[in-house]
Amino acid sequence: MKRLGFVAALGLGALLMSGCDAGAAMRFGWPEGITPEAKKMVDLWTWSVIAALVMGILVWALIFWTITFHRANDAKKGVFPRQTAYNVPLELTYTAIPFVIIAVLFYFTVIVQNDVEGKTDDSKVVVDVTAFQWNWKFGYNKVVFSDGTVYDGFEENGNPFEIQEQVGGSGPAAETEHSGPSDHGGEHEEVPLPAGGRDDDIRDYLNFDKIETVGTSSEVPILVLPTGKRIEFNIASADVIHSFWVPEFLYKRDVFPFPKQNASDPIFQFSSIDRTGAFVGRCAEMCGTYHSMMNFEVRAVTPEDFDSYIRFRQANPTATNAEALASICQVPESVSTVPFDTRRNAGGTVGAEGNRDDPVLANCTKKVS
Ligand SMILES: [Cu+2]
């Protein structure tokens, strides 16, 4: 008993000295959610862990009670123990209780899941997310400003893969007319390119918008969003399967190429972001060599700042995202993550010292075998 008390005191002391507050402790390792949906998921998680702990403590207590008070001693040696099998009421009880537990967990999971996956058609911001190896592109498909005016950012002829009109005969080598940014006028022969085993010309699920933010290996893409407004995400991949994950949203969704053919729903919504700040986003699906470097940042700003940001980008189509962020007095670079150093130029961190024109080792004798 003394030893048990010591262990309990040690555990309690370690918890108190770790400096985590009660709220963080009750999240059992999860980050603090910043959407109403995330908060509901945290509650479900907290109560599920508590239920598991109650069950765990009960089982541990029964195990320790048995091994402490029912071990063999001299008086019991050689005596056949009392048999308790075929105790029908007991067996019915411990069959029924797990079913009740599963039913209760299932009920609350479905309630929260329906809420998280719920969609309405009154989103104030619609963002087109395009994942590609190995970065992200964010486009503003629709924005409803605070004064009620609607900005439609969808670019009708933005898809360079879409074949607008078939000219001439049919068949794989048919002559086609190409429209969009890559159009150089005139006719050319269609060259099928690899795209998930399909021709590029059916990558018409990719959305292009007038205002877009594209990440590069030297700049982390920052997706600016307003607080307090319903936001819709429409995710698509230009190549392989990625996964859109913002830990503070407590939400992650696989980003598929060809969502229709892959039977994947590319749209999800959050009813609001509850506080301003910078939140790191990551790719959560192993998608190739630089998968771990595929970071982005969500920058939640006030609705007024968001309106100014979009209006600045509307008025200055050639301005960079950094300039637009600076125009609303936001730090123009990501503050939650850093770009991956690709070491492809001398301006970055270079490797060993050496003469670029003659990279040989000084005072070295070649080994001849
Ligand atoms: Cu990825």
56 CA from centroid of ligand 1 (Å): 38
Name the strand (E) or helix (H) holding 63.
helix 36-69
Domain finish residue from 328, 343, 363: 328
Same domain, 33 and 109: yes
323 CA from centroid of ligand 1 (Å): 27
Same domain, 57 and 135: no
Q: 187-189 and 150-152 as β-strands: parallel, antiparallel, unpaired?
A: unpaired
The ranges of the chain with pLDDT < 50 are 163-185, 191-195
286 CA from centroid of ligand 1 (Å): 6
In a domain, 195, yes or no: no
Same domain, 290 and 157: yes
Same domain, 98 and 210: no
Same domain, 53 and 141: no
In a domain, 48, yes or no: yes
Determine the Cα–Cα distance for residues 302 and 309; give it in Å rounded to an integer.
10
What pLDDT score was predicted for residue 55?
A: 92
Same domain, 241 and 130: yes
What pLDDT score was predicted for residue 184?
A: 47
What pLDDT score was predicted for residue 178?
A: 40
Same domain, 297 and 154: yes
What pLDDT score was predicted for residue 165?
A: 45
307 CA from centroid of ligand 1 (Å): 30
Same domain, 101 and 159: no
What pLDDT score was predicted for residue 179?
A: 40
Whether residue 65 has a cis bond before it, omega within 30° of 0: no
Structural domain count, the chain: 2
245 CA from centroid of ligand 1 (Å): 10
35 CA from centroid of ligand 1 (Å): 24
Phi, psi angle pair for 283, to nearest 5°: -90, 130
Same domain, 48 and 160: no
Same domain, 94 and 224: no
Same domain, 114 and 131: no
CATH code of residue 293: 2.60.40.420
What pLDDT score was predicted for residue 193?
A: 47
Q: Are 331 and 325 spatial neighbours (Cβ–Cβ below 8 Å)?
A: yes
Reported as a single tens digit per residue, the pLDDT across 262-300 is: 889 999 999 999 999 999 999 999 999 999 999 999 999
Range of the domain at 151: 125-164+200-328
Same domain, 145 and 54: no
What pLDDT score was predicted for residue 163?
A: 46
84 CA from centroid of ligand 1 (Å): 57
283 CA from centroid of ligand 1 (Å): 5
